[in-house]
């Protein structure tokens, strides 16, 4: 969690909001780092994405809708692929996955990280080459592992002794030798929300480095020789801004690499340092560029390899949020506005925690702007809430909106490409919004809106 988020949801902040929002900002201005790259506010005052106005998109596709800027997504893929040339960039599909996005990832030459049979099925249905897929998960089922082996997935990141045994049995039966990485828990306290930190000791992922389990797992795989041990894997958490965590992780994992070499005479060829690179949700967030990240991470790996007299392994990373997060904004329509005198103004939109659970779940901060028009009205500090039967159904905790915000206004919330549609629910039987890709003046639905018939289709009672 960023320091400014602490306490922002709770307590008696009233109209004052968090300290960084004490000075009203221009409600019409678009801060570039928060928005997909083709988004502008037209002279008439409305937002445009990919050359199409939000009013036209709302009319054609309805609200709420996730609007994806395809050029922006492709340019972020290229930023990472270019900056990490010589390394493999695995797009973390858990952040958002559908067939159209899988094809973009393929066309842009990236690799793909999946972490369930469902994600694997989407990747394969879109024709993604199995050898460029990495398969994650702390509890992969036998049927998921079987499918991965049959499909010829490029690497499986093993996470438990039971999984190694299951996979070894499957491989022996299938007569193949799957390539595996050992997921290592490096014992780093990442500076992020505790639910999305993954490298401290007391959690479910990986093999502990400090306790010796990671070394034992690697040795077991090497000794049994049914699986091909390609390397070690570390993922320290998500929405991380400070690269010092990656530095500690790389050092510890490479020390283990040296320990394995010393014990078994094998230098593992691959090293995966995971994803987790933070993005800007508000003006307070200051993420590093892909280029800066690449420079720092490569430097860390090179110096640690030199210190341990190791050849530099082939590096891979697994960004999800940093690729798709900023490419999308959610377009809502305002339904009601309540000014609670002296407290705050509540602006209700036609979605909420079912299309973005991150505010409720992680106390995440977002920004918002009235998207269908510019306004000359004075800024008021507002809270954007959804339509669900829960007072924690908050989309944007605090944001300056124009005092004349009213029912019928379109409202855009940026930074919703990652972990919003992929974590969406049907709470209150609210159908999930569509994902609409926009490019060169045209839009196409890539995930259609759910209907009440879809909801009822599962209800066979």
Q: Which residues are catalytic?
A: 389
**Choice between 95 and 330, CB closer to ligand LLP:** 95
Select from 119-127, 221-229, 269-277, 381-389 the region that touches ligand LLP (CB under 6 A). Answer: 269-277
**Choice between 17 and 275, CB closer to ligand LLP:** 275
Least Cβ distance, residue 285 to ligand LLP (angstroms): 13
Task: Confirm or reject binding of residue 418 to ligand LLP (CB under 6 A).
Answer: yes
Contact 249, 273 (CB under 8 A): yes
Orientation of helix 290-307 relative to helix 70-83, angle to 10°: 20
**Choice between 71 and 119, CB closer to ligand LLP:** 119
Query: Which of 321, 383, 387, 421 lies at the binding interface for ligand LLP (CB under 6 A)?
Result: 321
Task: Confirm or reject binding of residue 191 to ligand LLP (CB under 6 A).
Answer: no
Select from 65-73, 143-151, 167-175, 313-321 the region that touches ligand LLP (CB under 6 A). Answer: 313-321
Residues composing the chain: 461
Q: Which residues share a beta bridge with 48?
A: 40, 53
CA angle centred on 13, ends 29 and 31, rounded to 5°? 15
Q: How many residues bind ligand LLP (CB under 6 A)?
A: 23
Task: Confirm or reject binding of residue 276 to ligand LLP (CB under 6 A).
Answer: yes
Give the residue from 64, 32, 28 showing the smallest Cα distance to 46.
28
Query: Which of 108, 318, 393, 399 lies at the binding interface for ligand LLP (CB under 6 A)?
Result: 318
Query: In the numeric block, which tokens belong to residue 16?
Result: 């004052």
**Choice between 346 and 427, CB closer to ligand LLP:** 427
> What sign has the CA pseudo-torsion 131, 136, 141, 142?
positive
CA distances in angstroms from 210 to 4, 184, 206, 215, listed in the order given: 33, 10, 12, 9
Query: Which of 64, 231, 275, 326 lies at the binding interface for ligand LLP (CB under 6 A)?
Result: 275
Select from 33-41, 77-85, 273-281, 305-313 the region that touches ligand LLP (CB under 6 A). Answer: 273-281
Least Cβ distance, residue 359 to ligand LLP (angstroms): 10
Task: Confirm or reject binding of residue 419 to ligand LLP (CB under 6 A).
Answer: yes
Least Cβ distance, residue 111 to ligand LLP (angstroms): 12
Residue whose token pair is 């759910």 = 450
**Choice between 163 and 318, CB closer to ligand LLP:** 318
Give the residue from 112, 85, 19 showing the smallest Cα distance to 298.
85
DSSP 410: E
Q: How far apart are CA 117 and CA 143, in angstroms?
A: 8
Select from 29-37, 46-54, 270-278, 387-395 the region that touches ligand LLP (CB under 6 A). Answer: 270-278
Q: How far apart are CA 328 and CA 64, in angstroms?
A: 13
Query: Which of 160, 185, 239, 359 lies at the binding interface for ligand LLP (CB under 6 A)?
Result: 239
Query: Which of 50, 320, 352, 372 lies at the binding interface for ligand LLP (CB under 6 A)?
Result: 320
**Choice between 329 and 400, CB closer to ligand LLP:** 329
Query: Which of 35, 111, 277, 366 lies at the binding interface for ligand LLP (CB under 6 A)?
Result: 277
Give the residue from 57, 117, 97, 123 showing the smallest Cα distance to 447.
97
Query: In the numeric block, which tokens belong to residue 439?
Result: 């490019």
Least Cβ distance, residue 227 to ligand LLP (angstroms): 19
Give the residue from 148, 89, 141 showing the smallest Cα distance to 123.
148
Least Cβ distance, residue 431 to ligand LLP (angstroms): 21
Q: What are φ and ψ of residue 174, in 5° steps?
A: -85, -10
Residues 109-168 that bind ligand LLP (CB under 6 A): 113, 136
Burial of residue 29, with CB atoms counted within 10 A of its CB: 0-12 exposed, 13-18 middle, 19 or more buried: exposed
DSSP 220: H
**Choice between 96 and 400, CB closer to ligand LLP:** 96
Q: Strand (E) positions, 116-218?
A: 133-135, 155-158, 179-185, 207-208
Q: How far apart are CA 56 and CA 54, in angstroms?
A: 5
Query: In the numeric block, which tokens belong to residue 134?
Result: 């990495």
Task: Confirm or reject binding of residue 274 to ligand LLP (CB under 6 A).
Answer: yes
Q: How far apart are CA 22 and CA 14, in angstroms?
A: 11
Least Cβ distance, residue 240 to ligand LLP (angstroms): 8
Least Cβ distance, residue 320 to ligand LLP (angstroms): 3
Per-residue contact track with ligand LLP, 11 to 50, x per CB under 6 A? ----------------------------------------
Task: Confirm or reject binding of residue 322 to ligand LLP (CB under 6 A).
Answer: yes
Task: Kindly report the number of other CB atoms within 10 A of residue 378's CB atom.
Answer: 11
Residues that bind ligand LLP (CB under 6 A): 92, 94-95, 113, 136, 196, 235, 238-239, 274-277, 318-322, 358, 362, 418-419, 423
């Amino acid at each position: 969690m960023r320091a400014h988020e602490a306490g922002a949801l709770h307590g008696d902040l009233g109209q004052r909001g968090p300290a960084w929002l004490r000075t009203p900002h221009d409600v019409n201005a678009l801060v570039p780092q928060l928005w997909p790259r083709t988004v502008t506010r037209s002279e008439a005052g409305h937002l445009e994405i990919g050359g199409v106005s939000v009013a036209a998109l709302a009319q054609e596709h309805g609200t709420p809708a996730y609007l994806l800027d395809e050029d922006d997504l492709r340019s972020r893929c290229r930023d990472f692929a270019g900056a990490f040339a010589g390394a493999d960039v695995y797009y973390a599909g858990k952040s958002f996955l559908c067939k159209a996005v899988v094809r973009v990832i393929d066309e842009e030459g990236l690799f793909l990280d999946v972490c369930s049979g469902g994600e694997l099925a989407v990747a394969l249905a879109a024709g993604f080459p199995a050898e460029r897929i990495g398969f994650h998960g702390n509890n992969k089922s036998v049927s998921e592992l079987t499918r991965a082996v049959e499909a010829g997935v490029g690497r499986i990141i093993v996470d438990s002794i039971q999984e190694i045994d299951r996979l070894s049995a499957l491989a022996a039966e299938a007569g193949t030798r799957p390539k595996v990485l050992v997921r290592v828990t490096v014992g780093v306290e990442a500076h992020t929300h505790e639910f999305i930190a993954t490298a401290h000791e007391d959690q479910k992922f990986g093999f502990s480095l400090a306790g010796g389990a990671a070394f034992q797992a690697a040795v077991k795989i090497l000794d049994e020789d049914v699986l091909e041990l390609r390397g070690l894997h570390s993922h320290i958490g998500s929405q991380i801004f400070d690269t010092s965590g990656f530095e500690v992780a790389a050092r510890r994992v490479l020390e283990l690499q040296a320990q394995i070499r010393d014990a078994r005479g094998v230098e593992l060829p691959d090293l995966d340092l995971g994803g987790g690179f933070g993005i800007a949700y508000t003006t307070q967030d200051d993420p590093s560029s892909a280029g800066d990240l690449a420079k720092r991470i490569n430097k860390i790996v090179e110096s640690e390899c030199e210190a341990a007299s190791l050849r530099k392994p082939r590096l891979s990373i697994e960004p999800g949020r940093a690729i798709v997060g900023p490419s999308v904004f959610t377009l809502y329509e305002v339904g009601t506005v309540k000014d609670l005198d002296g407290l705050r103004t509540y602006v209700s939109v036609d979605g909420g925690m079912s299309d973005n659970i991150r505010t409720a779940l992680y106390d995440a901060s977002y920004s918002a702007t009235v998207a269908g028009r510019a306004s000359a009205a004075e800024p008021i500090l507002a809270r954007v809430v959804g339509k669900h039967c829960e007072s924690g159904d908050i989309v944007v905790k605090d944001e300056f909106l124009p005092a004349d915000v009213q029912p019928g206004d379109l409202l855009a919330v940026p930074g919703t490409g990652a972990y919003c549609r992929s974590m969406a629910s049907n709470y209150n039987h609210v159908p999930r919004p569509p994902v609409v890709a926009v490019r060169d003046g045209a839009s196409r639905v890539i995930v259609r809106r759910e209907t009440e018939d879809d909801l009822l289709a599962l209800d066979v009672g």
